Amino acid sequence: MGNLISVRPSRSKSVRAALLGAVAVAAAGAVTIEALPLSTEAAIAAAPVTSAGPASFADVVDHVKGAVVSVKVKIDATNVSEEGDAQPMPNFPKGGPLEKFFRQFGAPGMGQPFGDGEPHQRPHAGMAQGSGFFISPDGYIVTNNHVVEHAKDVTITTNEGKTIAARVVGTDPKTDLALLKVKEGSDYPYVSFASQTPRVGDWVIAVGNPFGLGGTVTAGIVSARGRDIGSGPYDDFLQIDAPVNHGNSGGPTFNAQGEVVGVNTAIFSPSGGSVGIGFAIASDVAKTVVGQLKDNGKVARGWLGVQIQPVSQDIADSLGLKDAKGAIVDKAEKDSPAAAAGLKDGDVITAVNGDAVSDSHDLARRIAALGPKKEAELTIVRNGLPQTVKVMLGSMSDDRQAKADATEQQPKDAMAKYGMALEPATAVEGAGKTGVVVAEVDPDGVAAQKGVQTGDLILAVGGKLVSHPSEVAAALDAAKADGKKSVLMQVRNDSGTHFVALSTQVS
């Protein structure tokens, strides 16, 4: 059994059979590329030779291969949902390549199962197979959560062929990591996590158990860093140009010094085999999670208690920010650490403890990594001015994851140039007593282009609360008069509260 994409694996056997295994690989050895001159032998001899990599990875492999193991798991399927084939599809972007992959290759409820090609059955027990690696001489082993999920019995096979029983110390589904401990022996060969993240273009080496073969070595380069593939709120994957195959899930990716830079967990493949797009959990994420699993058997994450969204260029322009970076607070939840610290709607969080925040996803990772009951200093921009706010983080529970009178209405044509017509919330049944309801939207208008929809409730414009269409129009006109290219509107709908930067450059 091997995994092709380990993001929120299905609990049905048919899909689970397709969700175990991934590793980063490419071609090892020297590659010589040279132009063929059209003249003399001397010119040929003088032609430059460019090496694409080291002549051999053998020394590194000899150093690390003893720490890599094969993991075999007997699954207790009585704990697997009987609605296995009806499990929801992972939350990939609609129409994106990963969604298309699942549709083509048997996502839950989305077509034929894939893997061994056998008809789907729901047994009381099954087998799963993956890879792992020792991180300490006393027998702690890192692997993927989806490899050992619902494990009844776990055994590992060392590079020398010895089979040893192991137990699950702890798992973290949010990052797809798990920690095992062998039940006997000590003084095992082990490897360490790298202290620095690799650069794009660095060579990497993987050792794993593809298709149950065991002890297979491959090599490639880091294609990208910080990949978010939609598997969870803390995605931070290395992308590797590697042929990744069934059975390598949970195996290590090494740098040229023999340090672990990633834990292989997923691939993208339209064909069912490797096309050179593999994903590995970054070592800094794995190191933090594994440390907590070892100490506590579970992972505790920090909680700020805000709804956030990334800062687009339009939002940055409307707030006078130099760069479109950071996370803007849509809403501070009631009785949350954010509310207690005084964070407000519209605040832009640009740094945590002095480290710059690139976007909302980055903020969620940083807050979670700090852990509960830790004080964090947030750098924010409020009303165009930078300031700092100190906040005592809470603990993230399992269910938390970083929703005027008509007679005073402005004439409809006052907002027509923006492509929408407005009504006071008080004039629309069920809309509440505050804000302005979007009654109509021109599908070709400026508002529609920014995602404004009929039924949206505009709460504030330019940082000021609004209750009547006239206030919305006045705020837009004032922003235009001040030379602002856009103005920030706080909007609420069924999806929650968010900000929209509406251009003022319309006539």
Residues noted as catalytic: 146, 176, 249
Give exposure, 273-299, as e/b (b: 16+ Cβ within 10 Å).
ebebbbbbbbbbbbbbbbebbbeeeeb
Distances (CA, A) of 49 to 13, 35, 44, 52, 280: 51, 9, 11, 10, 33
How many CB atoms within 10 Å of residue 94? 6
C-alpha 265/C-alpha 21 separation (Å) is: 7
How many CB atoms within 10 Å of residue 417? 14
Candidates 375, 401, 402; CA nearest to 389 is 375
C-alpha 296/C-alpha 118 separation (Å) is: 40
Give exposure, 140-178, as e/b (b: 16+ Cβ within 10 Å).
bbbbbbbbbbbbeebbbbbbeeeebebebbbbbebbbbb
Residue 380 near residue 343, CB atoms below 8 Å: yes
Q: How many CA atoms lie within 13 A of 50 on its CB side?
A: 4
